[in-house]
Amino acid sequence: MSYDIYSNHSMPFFTNRVTRLITVAFMLAFLLVSLSAQAHGQSIESLRQTGKTFANVAAEASPAVVFIQVEKIVQQRSSAQFFPPSGESSPFGDDFFRRFFGPPPSGQPRQFHQAPQQHRVVGQGSGFIISKDGYILTNNHVVGDADKVTVKLQDGREFKAKTIGTDAHSDVAVIKIDTKNLPVLPLGDSDAIEVGEWVVAIGNPFGLSHTLTVGVVSAKGRSSIGIADYENFIQTDAAINPGNSGGPLIDLDGRAVGMNTAIFSSSGGYMGIGFAIPINMAKAIKDQLIQTGSVTRGYLGIDIQDLTQELAKSFGLKDHQGILLAQVSENSPAEKAGLKQGDVIIEFAGKPIGKVGAFRNRVALKAPGSKVKIIVLRNGKRKTLSITIGKLPDGELAAAGTPRNLEKLGLTVQTLTPNLARQFGIQGEKGVVVTQVTPDSLAALAGINPGAVILEVNRKPVSNTEEFKRVVAQTPEKGTVLLLIKDGQYSRYVALKTE
């Protein structure tokens, strides 16, 4: 009985507990479903807001983006081929042709050149308006060689444009149309934008006017790509295709932070990597183009190269931060300031040194005649010098780096100094010594090793890096560089094809 009485009194308590647990579980499940639905709704709303941001950028920026069509007249000499049907002789006789035209090539038909004919070549690109009175920023490779430039606005109006100035070294150009009260695209600060930020590209790929693509900044400071002499590209994964050249790369505030210029592609189409000229560089160039129609750059008169770990170790340095001076030209601003071959530049105008390309850009943008402080490491000790920036001579670079052909060869050279001769065990030679060879490069495959002395390039003696680079640079980009190399006691010729 006692057990039964206990049981009877326990049942209501047990039942109430189960009921409460079920209620709590139901409430938790309901709460989780509600929170999940709320989170889902917030995610969708966030995406909507992101989409609206892109839409707002497009609506504000597109009127200032223009379609550019260019025309060029080229002379083309055509030829007509004359030959008798197989097995028949010429109705005029072979003597007739030989008398007037000489003997034909073996097995080849005779060719008669006609007068040159004119052909109209049409191209297209993009640009963006930077002033209400019609100045437009675009690429040099879009308008540089054009005989006629036509600009079409988003509202359908067309204008014949005048080329104000072009700069092939940076691939920047300015054109102008004769009208007023135009929509203007604000220019931002390319130094402030960071890797990972959203950007928008607007242009006319394949002639499809005012096409918008979206991506992020995937890298900054890209140089040594081979697109221009002065490179500091913003890399983006926003889709860029033929026809986008000269169009703006825009941040979420609707400001141009770059000018779309090139793509990395093995097919000619978009493959996920595009390059834009930083707007800060483009601004400095366009100001000079508008004022004078040309660009004047700063000049030091040095050959430079990146300081690798191997070179840093050879020079007794603890790290490889800085730029190595491979050559200092006679009577140059650098020589007058006291810079010497073998110095390592670690600071220029109050800022640390990056890669060769970035340093060259900084020198080029300095006004000739201005004075800057430069800090170098010489024999492991810091030394501060004051240098007056010179004016860049025609055909030279502000601070010469590696010629494109030399990059293809895959080797680094220095003038053979007594110190380097002792380091590599070389005596009594005059030329340039190979200090580094890129793995799997043309030089590496040809068996060229560090320590080899290059005596001649293309049958011309070279005694320093300046002569070596000049001769290499004169070789066609798809040609053969012939080197006379002495490695140990033996000399040999090496032919490196740069195709």
> 3-class SS at 269?
coil
Closest residue by Cα to residue 490 from 444, 442, 451, 443 = 451
DSSP-derived letter for residue 463 is -
Q: CB neighbours of 447 closer than 8 A, spacing ≥ 6?
A: 494
Instruction: Match 């297209």 to its residue by tokens.
Output: 124
Closest residue by Cα to residue 282 from 260, 309, 303 = 260
Q: CB neighbours of 137 closer than 8 A, spacing ≥ 6?
A: 127, 128, 130, 172, 173, 174, 246, 259, 282, 286
Write down the catalytic residue from 167, 171, 229, 237. Answer: 171
Q: For residue 138, report the phi and psi dihedrals to the nearest 5 degrees.
A: -155, -175
Write down the catalytic residue from 170, 190, 223, 245. Answer: 245
Write down the catalytic residue from 141, 167, 170, 190. Answer: 141
Whole-number Å distance between alpha carbons of 491 and 485: 5
Asked about 141 being catalytic, the answer comes back as yes
Asked about 171 being catalytic, the answer comes back as yes
Is the four-CA dihedral 51, 57, 63, 66 of positive or negative sign?
negative
Q: CB neighbours of 160 closer than 8 A, spacing ≥ 6?
A: 148, 149, 150, 151, 177
Alpha-carbon separation of residue 417 from 98, 162, 332, 426, 427 (angstroms): 61, 52, 20, 10, 10
Closest residue by Cα to residue 360 from 329, 389, 384 = 389
Whole-number Å distance between alpha carbons of 476 and 499: 9
Residues with catalytic roles: 141, 171, 245
